[in-house]
């Protein structure tokens, strides 16, 4: 195939650039990742299941996936609202707001983690108003959701924004001229058109949240069975030099991540077909 590609193009460098790409990809990403699977394969099913599906691990998965699902859902609603407002309306400071949306991409997760903890702790800027109502956010599973909402927002906004932008005004005008109310136009014309992008953004936010560590560990209570996320469980196993245990949990997480990645790719293919 190398020869084929060379023959079709007069541009040089195919062999060397592709070769270097594959070499580095293999050394930095693929071989190290495969180490996880090879290591766990050597464990035997019993030993693997003992750690990977222990009561504590199940609780951690439940929290990681449950909180991620909840956070991604919240971001679905507010991310769509934000994208809509940024694309459709004019208001003072719009450019600043638009830049700010990317803050979670740029702000180190540990910084986000301690800042959110400071805000939501019982004596914090927000926590002090929640405390009297008996609502505890910091050091509870609710805190995990707060942190995951923070890091997930830009995924939804930045996926939906371009699709909303490309949606021709004439399609909405067509709906209006056919007698559709604004709500009907949104529900039957706009929403179905942006649905694939919306789901993609949701899946990206969810996938990121499931693996998130830095922003969560400060605000979560990290109590086993209660407020301990799956990535933290891996770290705890490592700190106890239980490499096999860490690997087993990592395999479960990786399989889930890859399944999500596969789903995201399908969604994006669907989205492209829709917009064709």
Partner 1 sequence: MSSSTTESRLVRRLLIGIALAFLSFNLLLPLFAVFSEALREGWQGYQAAIIEPDALAAIRLTLLAAAIAVPFNIVFGVCAAWAIARFEFPGKSLLITLIDLPFSVSPVIAGLIYVLLFGAHGWFGPWLDEHDIQIVFAVPGIVLATIFVTFPFVARELIPLMQEQGNDEEEAALSLGASGWQTFWRVTLPNIRWGLLYGVLLCNARAMGEFGAVSVVSGHIRGLTNTMPLHVEILYNEYNFIAAFAVASLLALLALVTLVAKSLLEWRFGRKAVAGH
Partner 2 sequence: MTVSVHHITKRFGAFTALDDVSLDARPGEFLALLGPSGSGKTTLLRVMAGLEFPDAGAVLFDHVDVTNARAAERRVGFVFQHYALFRHMTVAENIAFGLKVKKPVERPSPEAIAARVRDLLGLIQLEHLGGRYPSQLSGGQRQRVALARALAVGPRVLLLDEPFGALDAKVRKDLRRWLRQIHDETGVTSVFVTHDQEEALELADRVVVMNHGRIEQVGEPAEIYDHPASAFVADFIGEANRLEVTVRHGRVFFAGVDLGPADGHGDGPAILYARPHDFVITDVGAGAIPAVRRSHRRLGARHRILLSLGDSGATVEVETLGPLDDGDVCHLAIQRWDLFPA
Which residues, numbered 166-195, are part of the site for partner 2 (CB under 8 A)? Answer: 168, 170-171, 173-181, 184, 188-189, 192-193
Cβ closer to partner 1: 56 or 158? 158
**Of 41, 115, 84, residue with least CA distance to 201:** 84
Residue 274 site contact among partner 1, partner 2, none (CB < 5 to 8 Å, cut-off depends on kind): partner 2
- Answer whether 205's CB lies under 8 Å from 155's CB: yes
Smallest separation, CB 91 to partner 1 (Å): 5
H or E element at residue 17: helix 14-24
To partner 1, the closest distance from the beta carbon of 46 in angstroms equals 21
Shortest distance, CB of residue 9 to partner 1, whole angstroms? 6
Of the pair 82, 200, the CB lying nearest partner 2 is at 200
90 near partner 2, rule: CB under 8 A: no
Q: Hey, CA dihedral for 98, 261, 71, 124, is it positive or negative?
A: negative
Distance CA 158, CA 134 (A): 36
Of 76, 53, 61, whose CA–CA distance to 149 is shortest?
76
Q: Which is nearer to partner 1, 67 or 116 (CB)?
A: 116
CA dist., res. 68 & res. 145, Å (int): 7
**Phi, psi at 83, each rounded to 5°:** -60, -45
Sign (positive or negative) of CA dihedral 222, 226, 229, 235:
positive
- State the binding string over 193-232 for partner 2 (x if CB under 8 A, else -): x---------------------------------------
Compare residues 54 and 186 and give the one whose CB is closer to partner 1: 186
Q: What does the binding site for partner 2 look like in residue numbers (CB under 8 A)?
A: 168, 170-171, 173-181, 184, 188-189, 192-193, 273-276
């Amino acid at each position: 195939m190398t020869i084929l590609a060379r023959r079709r193009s007069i541009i040089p460098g195919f062999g060397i650039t592709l070769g270097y790409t594959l070499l580095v990809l293999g050394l930095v990403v693929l071989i190290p990742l495969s180490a996880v699977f090879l290591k766990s394969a050597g464990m035997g099913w019993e030993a693997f299941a003992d750690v990977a599906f222990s009561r504590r691990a199940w609780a951690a998965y439940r929290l990681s996936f449950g909180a991620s699902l909840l956070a991604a859902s919240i971001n679905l609603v507010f991310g769509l609202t934000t994208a809509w407002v940024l694309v459709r309306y004019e208001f003072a400071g719009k450019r600043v707001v638009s830049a700010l949306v990317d803050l979670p991409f740029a702000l180190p997760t540990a910084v986000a983690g301690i800042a959110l903890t400071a805000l939501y702790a019982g004596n914090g800027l927000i926590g002090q108003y929640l405390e009297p109502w008996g609502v505890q956010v910091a050091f509870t599973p609710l805190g995990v959701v707060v942190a995951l909402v923070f890091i997930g927002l830009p995924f939804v906004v930045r996926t939906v924004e371009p699709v909303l932008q490309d949606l021709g005004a004439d399609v909405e005008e067509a709906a209006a001229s056919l007698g559709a109310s604004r709500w009907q136009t949104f529900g039957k014309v706009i929403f179905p058109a942006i649905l694939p992008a919306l789901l993609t953004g949701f899946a990206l936010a969810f996938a990121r949240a499931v693996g998130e560590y830095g922003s969560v560990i400060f605000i979560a209570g990290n109590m086993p069975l209660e407020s301990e996320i799956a990535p933290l469980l891996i770290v705890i196993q490592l700190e106890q030099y239980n490499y096999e245990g860490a690997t087993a949990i990592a395999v479960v997480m990786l399989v889930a991540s890859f399944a999500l990645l596969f789903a995201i790719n399908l969604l994006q293919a669907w989205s492209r077909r829709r917009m064709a």
